[in-house]
Amino acid sequence: MCLLPFARTAATRFISPTKTLEYMAAHKPIISTPIADVVESYGAVVRLATGAAEFVAALDAALNESPQARAARLATERRLLARSTWDAIATAMDARMQAAEGAKRLGGHQSATGRTALMDAAGD
């Protein structure tokens, strides 16, 4: 079991805890307070809890995870981890730089369409 019991403060409002990916790589159930980056990026596999009672309930649910639910969680974790490898990140960055260079050649600045092309190239 892996826990991310961050206090929800101004200091943690915009953090992106690297250990979330490390925990996912261990394929253990993860429980976290609802930190924005964890919710948005990993909410499909991380159980979220606010307060002691919710943490206890999330721990109980994780300990009683069915084999089918575990298999589904592991499949989702593998997909999330695959897009977070150094190679995947470098490929996405290269695509964004190529799109930006193309936009620059077309007019020296990006239009709304150019920004959309950048996001499409990165797979966002």
pLDDT in tens, 40-99: 999 999 999 999 999 999 999 999 999 999 999 999 999 999 988 888 888 889 999 988
Same domain, 58 and 71: yes
Q: Tell me the torsion sign for CA atoms 29, 34, 38, 40.
A: positive
pLDDT in the model for residue 117: 47
**Lookup: tokens for 57:** 């309930």
pLDDT in the model for residue 109: 54
Q: In the chain, how many domains are there?
A: 2
Give CA separation, 86 vs 16, 25, 40, 77, in Å. 17, 14, 20, 16
Same domain, 66 and 102: no
> Strand, coil or helix: what is 36?
helix
Same domain, 22 and 66: yes
Average pLDDT of every residue of the chain:
85
Phi and psi angles of residue 40, each rounded to the nearest 5 degrees, phi first: -70, -40
Same domain, 54 and 93: no
To which residue do tokens 């101004």 refer? 10
Same domain, 68 and 8: yes
Same domain, 92 and 73: no
Same domain, 51 and 22: yes
Same domain, 25 and 51: yes
By the 8 A CB rule, do 8 and 32 touch?
no
Same domain, 36 and 71: yes
Same domain, 27 and 46: yes
Same domain, 13 and 66: yes
Same domain, 97 and 77: no
Phi and psi angles of residue 53, each rounded to the nearest 5 degrees, phi first: -60, -40
pLDDT in tens, 18-43: 899 999 999 999 999 999 999 999 99
Query: Domain range for residue 98?
Result: 86-122
